[in-house]
Amino acid sequence: MEYLSRYWTFMAKYNVLNAFWVNVSLTLAAGALALILGTIAVTMRISPVSSLRLASTFYVNVFRDIPLTVVMVIMASVVWMQLNVSFSNDFHTDFYILAVIGLGIYHSSFIAEALRSGINTVPVGQAEAARGIGLTFLQSTRIVVLPQAFRGSIAPIGNTIIALIKNTTVASVTGVSTETSSTMQAAIEMGPQFIFLIFLTFALGYVIIVIPVGVLSTSLSRRLAVKR
Amino acid sequence: MSGREYGRLIMVDSVGTEPVAQMVNVQKHFGHLHVLKDINLTVHRGEVVVVIGPSGSGKSTLCRTINRLEPIDSGEIRIQGKLLPQEGRDLARLRADVGMVFQSFNLFAHMSILDNVTLGPRKARKVPKDKAEAEALALLDRVGIKDQAKKLPAQLSGGQQQRAAIARALAMHPVLMLFDEPTSALDPEMINEVLDVMVSLAKEGMTMIVVTHEMGFARRAADRVVFMSDGLILEEGSPEAFFTTPQTDRAKDFLAKILHH
Ligand SMILES: Nc1ncnc2c1ncn2[C@@H]1O[C@H](COP(=O)(O)OP(=O)(O)O)[C@@H](O)[C@H]1O
Ligand SMILES: [Mg+2]
């Protein structure tokens, strides 16, 4: 008990809740970006214009194959330092935005692939019927194909989001120092005697965040499945 | 008076002289497979043409080239005198004028029947929602499934789904309706409920191209029967003449097969 209360006092110096909030907010922002970019990429992938299809294939393959750490290093050292791309006067804000962009782009390739598997569950007759009543390619994709593809790919999208939650710790690479992995590392350095408890605290935090996402995605994918 | 309304006012069985669909020297390959061999076909306003022939003879492909779901290699296809546009908005506009009914219904699986019927008018023709819905309900009433309007397609029987698909096509006020084996996927007891709707459309003067093996429908509603085999139009004639005195051996063989099974 004594040991636990000492650990408690020690951890009070670290804003663990805030650290988790940083990762959750990175997940929300990067997840939204990934969904938007992934949807655009998959729409290009199925479009009748061959150059758009090629561009999308290239984009998805590049960002799926490069390690996330490399993407984040590129964001920090090339985009920010070399190209001087800046979004604000505050470099903390810049780091955060760079992390969101890097995470968003990287995960958009997985979202695009998840959506493509969802599109494969939509019979071609659906798009043909949509074109048959005079909808344009974009209308038919937006109103008929993608809504069904989303419902057919909730499980793989959920998996991508779960990977994203954990991958937000790589934001430390672009200099987001308030997030969990940086906080954990700082805590371990200052209190090596608590290393096991520190580790357990952060691991538990992630489990608490990830489990509901998994449960939600499983139940949504069942509830929203398109009946044919 | 617009051409669309004109179609409905024509007297029973009268066929206009104005061509609605024209195919001239149309050729189509799938890879090395020659699927449409120099097809020439003109369908006049108010005319009902039944296309019949063995499986794989190119009937579906013929239908699909007319609203350019399949592009052609050479030749010309005109709708109301206008060449089929290549791609983009013009093509979408043309497709809005040509209704298509598929063997597998292809109702939008995630939308209610009512939304299925209103989608085209609202998005392709910018009809306001309430107006589109009122008209959709009238159409659903006409095909006998008004009480199913709020349901999803999967909750309907095959015959009801196909009638909904016909209502969806009619909602666009098409100048031409294409039917590709509309009753082939149906249980026998549901075939007539769909054919009855099609016969009543035919009697009202709708211009129709119907791929079907239902000889009863051909005799009741068709002005002309076109027999296809191996990508060729081998025979054309009145239903009576075609069914009683087919000219080619292949047509005779084919009719013998569908009669004796
Ligand atoms: N998308 C396609 N790709 C390749 N071959 C096709 C395609 N669609 C149809 N075919 C082939 O073209 C021929 C004609 O097909 P189809 O028009 O469907 O005939 P039908 O409707 O008379 O049964 C068949 O041999 C069929 O296998
Ligand atoms: Mg066919």
Q: Rounded to the nearest 5°, which phi and psi values hold at B80?
A: 50, 45
pLDDT for position B240 = 93
Please report which ligand is nearest the Cα atom of A128: 1
**Is A75 contained in some domain?**
yes
Tokens of B244: 């009683």
Residues in chain A closer than 8 A to B97 (CB atoms)? 134
pLDDT for position A84 = 79
A152 secondary structure, DSSP code: H
Confidence label for A155 from pLDDT (cuts 50, 70 and 90): very high
Is any Cβ of chain B less than 8 angstroms from the Cβ of A133?
yes
**Is A216 contained in some domain?**
no
Spatial distance between the Cα atoms of A99 and A105, rounded to a whole number of angstroms: 10
pLDDT for position B173 = 97
> pLDDT digit string (tens) for B98-147?
999 999 999 999 999 999 999 999 999 999 999 999 999 999 999 999 99
Per-residue pLDDT at A92 exceeds 90: no
Whose CA is closest to B95, among B43, B168, B158?
Answer: B168
**Is A1 contained in some domain?**
no
pLDDT for position B35 = 97
Look at A89 and B51; give whichever has higher pLDDT.
B51
A143 secondary structure, DSSP code: I
Residue of B nearest to A228 (CA): B154
> pLDDT digit string (tens) for B21-78?
999 999 999 999 999 999 999 999 999 999 999 999 999 999 999 999 999 999 999 9
Chain mean pLDDT for chain A: 94
CB contact under 8 A, B108 and A126: yes
Residues in chain B closer than 8 A to A123 (CB atoms)? 104, 106
Tokens of A52: 């758009």
ipTM summary value: 0.89
The residues facing B79 across adjacent strands are: B21, B82
For residue A163, the enclosing domain spans 20-176
**Is A190 contained in some domain?**
no
Tokens 């098409």 appear where? B174
- b/e B99-115 (16+ beta carbons within 10 angstroms → b): bbbbbbbbbbbbbbbbb
**Is A213 contained in some domain?**
no
CB contact under 8 A, B125 and A147: no
Q: What percent of chain A has pLDDT over 90?
A: 84
Spatial distance between the Cα atoms of B69 and B63, rounded to a whole number of angstroms: 9
Q: What percent of chain B has pLDDT over 90?
A: 87
Spatial distance between the Cα atoms of A11 and A89, rounded to a whole number of angstroms: 32
Per-residue pLDDT at A33 exceeds 80: yes
Of A132, A143, A147, the CB nearest to B95: A132
Chain center to CA of A112: 12
pLDDT for position B6 = 43
pLDDT for position A80 = 80
Whose CA is closest to A202, among A19, A66, A41, A40?
Answer: A19
Q: Which of B28, B60, B69 best tests ligand 1's pocket when mutated (most atoms within 8 Å of CB)? A: B60
Per-residue pLDDT at A72 exceeds 50: yes
**B228 neighbors B52 (Cβ within 8 angstroms):** yes
**Is A141 contained in some domain?**
yes
Distance from Cα B62 to the centre of ligand 1, integer Å? 10
Per-residue pLDDT at B10 exceeds 80: no
What is the number of the ligand 1 atom nearest to the C-alpha of B53? 22
Residue of B nearest to A150 (CA): B110
pLDDT for position B261 = 60
Per-residue pLDDT at A45 exceeds 70: yes
Chain mean pLDDT for chain B: 92
Query: What integer is the mean pLDDT of A188-208?
Result: 93
| Beta carbon of B32 within 6 Å of any ligand 1 atom | no
pLDDT for position A174 = 87
Whose CA is closest to A111, among A71, A63, A67?
Answer: A63
Look at B258 and A224; give whichever has higher pLDDT.
A224
pLDDT for position B14 = 61
**Is A74 contained in some domain?**
yes
Per-residue pLDDT at B8 exceeds 70: no
Spatial distance between the Cα atoms of B39 and B247, rounded to a whole number of angstroms: 19
SS3 state of residue B208: strand
SS3 state of residue B80: coil
Provide the number of CB pairs (under 8 Å) joining chain A to chain B. 76
β pairing state of B208-211 and B176-180: parallel
CATH of the domain at A48: 1.10.3720.10
Spatial distance between the Cα atoms of B226 and B66, rounded to a whole number of angstroms: 16
The structural domain count of chain A equals: 1
Per-residue pLDDT at B3 exceeds 80: no
Residues 6+ apart with CB under 8 A from B203: B12, B13, B221
Spatial distance between the Cα atoms of A89 and A101, rounded to a whole number of angstroms: 18
Of the residues A50, A133, A226, the best mutation for testing chain B's interface (the one with the most B CB atoms within 10 Å of its CB) is A133
Whose CA is closest to B45, among B182, B202, B191, B166?
Answer: B202
Helix (H) or strand (E) holding B218: helix B215-221
pLDDT for position A88 = 83
**Is A76 contained in some domain?**
yes
pLDDT for position B7 = 42
